[in-house]
Amino acid sequence: MVAVGVLALQGDVREHISALEKAGASAVPVKRVSDLEGLDGIVLPGGESTTMGKLLTLFDLLEPLRKRIADGLPAYGTCAGMILLASEVLDGRHDQKLLGGLDITVRRNAFGSQVHSFEEDLSVAGVGEVHGVFIRAPWVERAGPSVDVLARVGEHPVAVRQGHLLATSFHPELTGDARMHEFFVSTMVS
């Protein structure tokens, strides 16, 4: 069984752990640098991207995690996790800390504030019909040439993959449907 970490500083960690277990992985909460040892992949959960970036820096996890991802550790980011994996963020704080790796520019809170948060069915390439829950969600404003767009809402990419990195604007962990996690575990981690 593969071991997939869930960054557990803050956010909807419990839901990701349960989705990964449904997808047949062993899920490991990650709070310390030593927790990164022996992982076959990592999930960056939803939460507050500004806060998570701050906490990664304050708790000395930013560089070790950045290095593991740059060295090829498969990673899946949802919502705030998508922002952390992006190479550039718009409408964030000027000093917002990112892990980077994905050649995309994301716009933070792109769909608007909480009152504009929504749920909607969408088609994700390689996965099928998925119920997307979008909460103060980002969208992808620019995707680099080696980035595959897997799903869009209107014009805007909301699911992307580049090699060992996967990111969605929406939160599959909140729906009880583990197919996005299965896709990550079976095609990218194993």
Footprint of another protein on this chain (CB under 8 A)? 8-15, 31, 46-48, 50-51, 54-55, 58-59, 79-80, 91-93, 96, 108-109, 113-121, 133-136, 171, 174-175
| Closest approach of another protein to the CB of residue 186, in Å | 25
**Beta strands 156-162; 148-153: pairing state:** antiparallel
| For another protein, the closer CB: 8 or 189 | 8
Q: What is the SS3 assignment for 7?
A: strand
| For another protein, the closer CB: 114 or 155 | 114
| Closest approach of another protein to the CB of residue 142, in Å | 20
Q: What is the SS3 assignment for 158?
A: strand
Which segments within the chain are labelled E, that is strand? 3-7, 26-30, 41-44, 75-78, 86-90, 102-107, 118-124, 128-134, 139-143, 148-153, 156-162, 165-168
Q: What is the SS3 assignment for 140?
A: strand
| For another protein, the closer CB: 121 or 155 | 121
> Rounded distance, CA 119 to CA 134, Å?
6
| Closest approach of another protein to the CB of residue 91, in Å | 8
C-alpha 181: how far from its chain's center?
Answer: 11
| Closest approach of another protein to the CB of residue 71, in Å | 25
Query: Which residues are tagged catalytic?
Result: 79, 171, 173
* Those residues with Cβ within 8 angstroms of residue 68's Cβ, 6 or more apart along the chain or in another chain: 36, 39, 42
| For another protein, the closer CB: 51 or 186 | 51
C-alpha 135: how far from its chain's center?
Answer: 14
